[in-house]
Chain A
Amino acid sequence: MLSELVKNELKRIVGTANAAFAREELLCYSYDATNTLYPPDAVVFVKSAEEVSLILKMANSEGFPVIPRGAGSGFSGGSLPVEGGVVISTERMNGIIEIDTENLTAVVEPGVVLWEFQQEVEKKGLFYPPDPSSLRFSTLGGNIAECAGGPRAVKYGVTKDYVLGLEVVLPTGEIINTGVRTAKGVVGYDLTKLMVGSEGTLGVVTKATLKLVPLPEATRTLLAVFPDLKDAATAVSGIIKAKVIPSTLELIDGVSLKCVEEYAKAGLPEAEAVLLIEVDGSREGVVKDSEVVERICMEYGAQSVKSATGKDEVRDLWKARRAISASLFRVKPNKINEDVVVPRASIPELIGGVREIADRLNLTIACFGHAGDGNIHVNVMYDKTNPCEAKAAEDAVTEVFKLTVELKGTISGEHGVGVSKARYLSLELKPEAIEAMKRIKAAFDPNGILNPGKIFPKKAAEEGAYMVGAEAASGVPATGL
């Protein structure tokens, strides 16, 4: 609960119209795409770094949590006010300040929606490649905080590869600038990289300088259909071995295909697996590369490879690809969505292992994702009202994580740790590494007011009331996504 004093001060800082305390408002800022609810005590719609700074300073003196939030599309609970407090919404900080066509950079505010930014950039013949499936609604601030990535990562990398510099308000209220506006720069520690992917726990991003690249001259989209899932997974390495780096190399398994086709009607085939492949570059290069890709897919057992003709067909395919995650609920009402990554060559092993786990525990597990960079979304489907199934689902996740770590992979490629994965942290990181990270957090945020309860699992003893909520969010059976 916030005191009247704090509430009045918040109103003074952002203006009465931009501070919300009504229950209706609070409920709408209580969730993200994990579908768990923790109402905050206030929501403020900030407009500047100065406002954020004043709020954070007060949070330190008055002792309330502050949670940055973009579009609330996160998959790990990063923007959930698990301990209550004040949500800082960046929805009003949505200006594209500059697109510099000479230096190929852009300066943006954090609340800009990725899609809208990409549209503006492409109008100028430039390209901002990071493309999480949530690109039409997630914000650049959220992308930076989660280091979001998508299908294009295999060729172009992820958000961190495009952030040159940031304006950040530190948890203690100081406004700093990190990074450079140039291609190089080695002065001091690289705070930019530290901030990217820090899930809103080390600072609030209020401005970002992003790197742009020239828009490729041509792209071509191919759809390769495989009667066998493992063959499709093996073909992924085959393509890269042939020295073609597609701009997209997506694997979609049979379960996912069926669900999404029901929604999108994009003409996806009924098959065990498909690879959705895109090559880009010069006009001639694209033709050459797609020939190589086609040949290799056939060599690895594809039954057909088709090239999408026309804008509409390509758009429909992508719309379908992006809708898979949400449309899986057609199978079962609940799912646990994990985005594990393994070295590319180990994908067939991972997929085989997941199939084995699914069969043994009698579950439906859908696999799809950015096979090109080894990032597979493993979706365990279950019904939470069936306790046996819920338990099996939870066991399946632990097994998938163990398998991932055995294959020298990581348990989250994109979605972050947040609350959902906090308790699995020690599966991947040594205690010493976790300690080092905690010391970094403490150095930035001595009073622990910025986005508390995220990333680091707390010991039950320290937990108190919070553990109940944390269980609801990370405790698999209670979550929707």
Chain B
Amino acid sequence: MNTLELLKEEIEKCVRCGTCRSVCPTLKAIGRETACARGRITLVEHRLKGSLELSGNYLRHIKECTLCGACKSNCPNGVDTVRIFAGARAEAVEKEGVPYAASVVFKNLLESNRLPWALKLANRLQGVLFRDAVASSGLLSRFPLPLIGSGRLLPPIAKTPFLELPNVKALSGHGRPGGALGKAVRVAFYAGCGVNYLMPEIGTASLDVLKRAGVEVVVPVGQVCCGMPAYAMGDRATARAMALKNLDIFESCNFDFVTTACATCGHGLKSLFKDMLGDDPELKSRVEAFSKKVRDISELLVNELGFKGKGRGPGHETKVTYHDPCHLGRAQGVREEPRALIASCPGVSLEEMKNPCSCCGLGGGLSLVNYELSMEIAKRKAENIRSSGADVVVTACPGCMVHLRDGLHRFGVNAKVAHVVELL
């Protein structure tokens, strides 16, 4: 069966009621039916029927979606819209191939934890050259380092990636594969590209908190990109290879939980590995065993380690607001745990913003496909943050952090952006 036929049943579940119009961030920004789930499903349905070309217009409408899943969780008919849109992108990639530059970077990201050459160069040249290669790369489909455009606030690439820091390497778990489980809970840390290349400090803060929570931490060596960017761009083959490689590597260590400080990686490890590998019965049971152990770091700290109330806080009175990453709140249902951690920090008052779970605008590669649109979405977010009066907006995903910083800077909102673990 081809990729679209697999979606047929899902597509036919849509009754065109229009409920999704009320929640779609791209519809709010663009104001046209082509930019909401109902419209996009209609287009994919016509592709399926063979009555629509793989036209530039079609591709634009399919790609101008953040895959935020708001439509999915509000659809009265339970249509898995995100599956439809990811599938539609996969079909396009099958026909047209992966853009060359992206394929180069994806390959590099598949090569264990070595810094991809494109990024190394980008770091040195800070973006004059290699613009295209970087702009369309897998990592960058979430972390838009492309150094394009003026006035765009982008994080510098880390001098030393997280996974290559000496103290992290020391935790690599080498030499003790299969080590017997001691009394202490053993946690394997999954870094993900955002932490590894852009925000090693979040990785370091995570390890610190985990240590204080009294667990033994391993950082399995050889872990690679989780595959979510490739998946979102429709490059199923690469996403699958990445998932498989990570599975192999983690299975060679012994642990009670896998944790990550990235909402997107967490969603990938928890659910999308199944989507990527589940077609093979042998892999399916392996993936299920692995995925059961995955926890977002807030989830792990609150539900498994009883860490609530043990955070250090910022050291002074601070008004904090929390942004729910789509891949944590909606996709994983983790909303209360980060809030519990934040609110229990000394000196912190948690002030909810309007629509804390609306998308920041980064998702699904949108900031590469249409940066202006992703900023239009970020604008609403920035306004909500402004009206909350918070000094700091805390979230749980490096991707959201990059986009929020960019957005707040652009729309002149003073709030700082931090990760939950940085508050602890």
Contact = CB atoms under 8 A, between A and B. Distances in A.
B16 to A, nearest CB: 5
Contact of B19 (A35, A136, A480): A136
Interface stretch (A150-158, A173-181, A321-329, A369-377): A321-329
A23 interface: yes
Nearest to B60: A24
Nearest to B76: A326
Given A72-B18, A136-B19, A137-B19, A31 B32 contact: no
B21 interface: yes
Given A23-B52, A24-B52, A137-B22, A325 B42 contact: no
Given A24-B61, A137-B21, A29 B15 contact: no
Contacts of B150: none
Contacts of B21: 71, 73, 137
A463 to B, nearest CB: 26
Given A25-B57, A27-B46, A91-B32, A263 B78 contact: yes
B6 to A, nearest CB: 19
Residue picked from B42, B58, B61, most chain A C-beta under 10 Å: B42
Interface string B11-30: 01101111101100000000
Contacts of B75: 326
B196 interface: no
Contacts of A45: 31-32
B77 A27 contact: no
A91 B36 CA distance: 13
B356 to A, nearest CB: 15
A369 to B, nearest CB: 16
B19 to A, nearest CB: 6
Contacts of B22: 113, 115, 136-137
A27 B52 contact: yes
B368 to A, nearest CB: 21
B18 A73 contact: yes
Nearest to A73: B18
B17 A73 contact: yes
Interface string A28-47: 11111111010000000100
A148 to B, nearest CB: 13
A89 B61 CA distance: 18
B156 to A, nearest CB: 37
Interface string B48-66: 0000100101100100000
A136 B42 CA distance: 21
Given A24-B58, A263-B78, A327-B77, A92 B16 contact: no
B34 interface: yes
Contact of B43 (A27, A115, A326): A27
A348 to B, nearest CB: 29
A481 interface: yes
B132 interface: no
A91 B29 CA distance: 12
A221 interface: no
Contacts of A113: 22
Nearest to A34: B16
B18 A33 contact: yes
B340 to A, nearest CB: 18
Contacts of A34: 16
- Among A35, A73, A92, A138, max chain B CB count under 10 A is at A73
B26 to A, nearest CB: 13
A22 interface: yes
Nearest to B53: A23
Contacts, number: 94
A333 B12 CA distance: 9
Contacts of B12: 333
B336 interface: no
Contacts of A323: 19, 76
B33 interface: yes
A333 B8 CA distance: 14
B77 A25 contact: no
A134 interface: yes
Given A24-B34, A28-B34, A326 B52 contact: no
A239 to B, nearest CB: 29
Contact of B33 (A28, A33, A35, A481): A28
Nearest to B58: A24
A137 B18 contact: yes
A326 B57 contact: no
B39 interface: yes
A34 B31 CA distance: 22
B76 A263 contact: yes
A29 B77 contact: no
Given A71-B21, A91-B31, A327 B15 contact: no
A28 B13 contact: no
A221 B13 CA distance: 33
B85 to A, nearest CB: 15
B55 A24 contact: yes
A31 B16 contact: yes
Q: Which of A27, A323, A325 has the most CB of B within 10 A?
A: A27
Interface in A250-307: 263
Contact of B39 (A28, A115, A329): A28
Contacts of A72: 16, 18, 33
A76 to B, nearest CB: 14
A28 B77 CA distance: 20
A22 B57 contact: yes
Interface string A460-479: 00000000000000000000
Contacts of B61: 24
B52 to A, nearest CB: 7
A263 B55 CA distance: 36
Contacts of B38: 28
Residue among A28, A33, A94, A330 having the largest count of chain B Cβ atoms under 10 Å: A28
Contacts of A325: 17, 76
B49 to A, nearest CB: 11
Interface string A190-233: 00000000000000000000000000000000000000000000
A72 B21 CA distance: 10
Given A72-B33, A115-B22, A263-B78, A32 B16 contact: yes
A480 B33 contact: no
Nearest to B12: A333
Contacts of A115: 22
Interface in A54-105: 71-73, 89, 91-92, 94
Nearest to A481: B15
A33 B22 CA distance: 14
Nearest to B20: A137
B315 to A, nearest CB: 34
Nearest to B39: A28
Given A27-B43, A326-B77, A480 B34 contact: no
Contacts of B39: 28
B43 A329 contact: no
A481 B15 CA distance: 7
Contacts of B76: 263, 323, 325-327
7 contacts: A23-B52, A24-B61, A25-B34, A31-B42, A71-B18, A323-B76, A327-B76
Given A71-B21, A73-B18, 7 more contacts: A24-B61, A33-B17, A34-B16, A91-B33, A263-B76, A327-B77, A481-B17
Interface of A: 22-25, 27-35, 37, 45, 71-73, 89, 91-92, 94, 113, 115, 134, 136-138, 263, 323, 325-327, 329-330, 333, 480-481
